Structure 1
Amino acid sequence: MCKLLAVSGNQEEDLGNILEVFVKNFGAKNPDGWGIAFLDESTGLYHIEKVYNKDQKLLEETFFQDLKEIKTKTLIAHLRKASIGRKSIENCHPFENYVDDHQFVFIHNGTVWPRRIIESKLVNYKPKSSDPTDSELVFCYIMDVLEQKEVNLNSYQDMVEAINKIILRIRSEALITKLNFILADHKYVYCYGWNELQYLLISENANSDSHNKKQFSHPNGKVVVCSKPILENYPWNIIPPKTILVLRDGKIQYTSD
């Protein structure tokens, strides 16, 4: 089963160590292509790297050779276990697209079947792969809705409303639906937990002996969202099913729970 990771911080820092732990924990069982997107604060755009190799050792070497230091506030990463769509570089996550000049990146774990349910809904946004994953199709559908409905892309309230409507439509028509995903732009990270995502809240203002189990001291505040806990001895919290968590600058901006 694919694994997802998102990190939102309050300032730029090297997040390579978190990425290494993520890959160490889950890479071997998810060998069908890895990818990351990290925000470049100077441009406000995500830089995306994807790798695919049938050889596990070469996959890991290729993935890390250009990522020795990932200094950013916002990072998302995906380790793929192929189910729908062939094993290929174009089917690796994250997927990227634009509504006008507004960039979005997307990663997903789960299944939406049959694919034609989503394909039949697409208007302006089409998959780049000739044998697309259900994940890319869902992303294209999200892009279509955001464009057609003229959603205020800078309003997380409008975005949450649009995302919820999209999910309801998919659930009402697909025979199999499982949607754990992360959608991010230059401001917000939208984390939708279908049934497995967990988060860790690190506050730079909390004392190490704080009685609040969701917070503890760290030089830089951040929120880490992952399919399963990756940092030991830290108090992880389950994102309740069918819940959207909105992250910005190392804090939880909103939760639909």
Structure 2
Amino acid sequence: MCQLLGMNCNGPTDICFSFEGFCARGGKTDDHKDGWGIAFFEGAACRVFLDDKPSATSAIAKLIREYPIKSTNVVAHIRKATIGPVGLENCHPFTRELWGRHWVFAHNGDLPTLKSGSLGTYRSVGQTDSERAFCLIMNQLRDKFPQQQPPMEELFPVLQEMTQAIASHGIFNYLLSDGKHLFVHCSTKLCYIVRQSPFAAAHLIDEDLTVDFQELATPCDRVAIIATTCLTDNETWTTIQPGELLVFQDGLPLIFQDDWACKVSRY
């Protein structure tokens, strides 16, 4: 199946180091070679790069690895095609507008029994079950909250209910972002790490590359990296439990209390 990579942080940061190891899995150290994509949120804008070539050999991926685009939220995906042929229209992440914001989505897994449902504002361009699931979420959110984006304590339980319903059709690991938050759902396999002061060196699993973040970051920086499997071999990653939906903001997962008031984890 496919693999996911996400980043959420408290200030604009580049993802070059993590993307270097992630790209290698697209045809070099693994067989996810049926296309790839990455989306960077920059203010109100969203910069998206897609390619149906393997990320390990893609000239566009090489540009991204060497060009330090700074963003507070990043969603990336490398594809191993199952439902839908290899083609640019089937490359993740997918983007749509809702409540005057860009929303970006990438999925790992298969949803063989998921139907498109009634036609709404959002419709699929490609043939994947992933884009179908994304459009279903967007249509239901628009129907539930037609005027504006609700506060997180209202949005989260609705998204959680939608997620559980879609996950009943198969495997539904996903990343979803509105540019401020990064929603992360684990169906089978996802993990994350929060890098913050005191920073240390990290070594990639898929490439012989080490970066000492103490030399690059400030004491105030905080970055959460989410991936299908660990990207480094000298750091401790947190496993996300199957069925768990997390929301990252400013580089930390939010904690939801019984009254749905949310606060940032002190991690």
User: When the two structures are superposed, what TM-score results if normalisation uses the length of structure 2?
Assistant: 0.81
**Residue 19 of structure 2 corresponds to which residue in structure 1?**
19
Out of 159, 163, 166, the residue aligned to residue 163 of structure 1 is: 159
**Change over 3 Å in CA distance of 1:239–1:123 after alignment to 2:** same
**Residue 138 of structure 2 corresponds to which residue in structure 1?**
143
Equivalenced residues, count: 237
Q: Secondary structure at the match of 1:64?
A: helix
- Give the letter for the 2:145 counterpart: E
**Residue 62 of structure 1 corresponds to which residue in structure 2?**
60
**CA displacement at 1:27 relative to structure 2:** 4.3
Moved more, 117-126 or 238-247: 117-126
Tell me how large the CA RMSD over aligned residues is: 2.3
Q: Secondary structure at the match of 1:112?
A: coil
CA distance in 1, matches of 2:34, 2:25: 15
Flag as ranges the 4+ runs of structure 1 deviating above 3 A: 25-28, 216-219
**Change over 3 Å in CA distance of 1:231–1:99 after alignment to 2:** same
**CA displacement at 1:240 relative to structure 2:** 0.7
- Give the letter for the 2:186 counterpart: G
CA distance in 1, matches of 2:165, 2:21: 36
Whether the 8 Å CA contact 1:27–1:79 is kept in 2: the answer is no
- Give the letter for the 1:124 counterpart: T
**Change over 3 Å in CA distance of 1:9–1:119 after alignment to 2:** same
Is 2:33 the partner of 1:37?
no
- Give the letter for the 1:64 counterpart: K
Q: Secondary structure at the match of 1:143?
A: helix
Q: Secondary structure at the match of 1:113?
A: coil
**Change over 3 Å in CA distance of 1:154–1:15 after alignment to 2:** farther
**Change over 3 Å in CA distance of 1:195–1:124 after alignment to 2:** same
CA distance in 2, matches of 1:255, 1:60: 41
**Residue 123 of structure 1 corresponds to which residue in structure 2?**
120
Q: Secondary structure at the match of 1:119?
A: coil
CA distance in 2, matches of 1:207, 1:7: 17
**Change over 3 Å in CA distance of 1:154–1:247 after alignment to 2:** farther
Q: Secondary structure at the match of 2:58?
A: helix
CA distance in 2, matches of 1:84, 1:112: 9
For structure 2, the 5+ residue unaligned runs are 201-212, 258-267
CA distance in 1, matches of 2:110, 2:199: 41
**CA displacement at 1:63 relative to structure 2:** 2.1
**Change over 3 Å in CA distance of 1:66–1:236 after alignment to 2:** closer
**Residue 207 of structure 2 corresponds to which residue in structure 1?**
none
For structure 1, the 5+ residue unaligned runs are 209-215
* CA displacement 1:139-191 (0-9 Å, x = unmatched): 0000000000117635222222122221233345x3xx110001101210000
CA distance in 2, matches of 1:234, 1:163: 31
**1:160-199 residue pairs with structure 2 within 5 A?**
160-172=156-168, 174=169, 177-199=170-192
CA distance in 1, matches of 2:115, 2:152: 24
**Residue 87 of structure 1 corresponds to which residue in structure 2?**
86
Q: Secondary structure at the match of 1:93?
A: coil
**CA displacement at 1:99 relative to structure 2:** 1.8
What is the identity percentage for the equivalent residue pairs of Structure 1 and Structure 2? 27
- Give the letter for the 2:41 counterpart: L
User: When the two structures are superposed, what TM-score results if normalisation uses the length of structure 1?
Assistant: 0.84
**Change over 3 Å in CA distance of 1:101–1:56 after alignment to 2:** closer
Q: Secondary structure at the match of 1:108?
A: strand
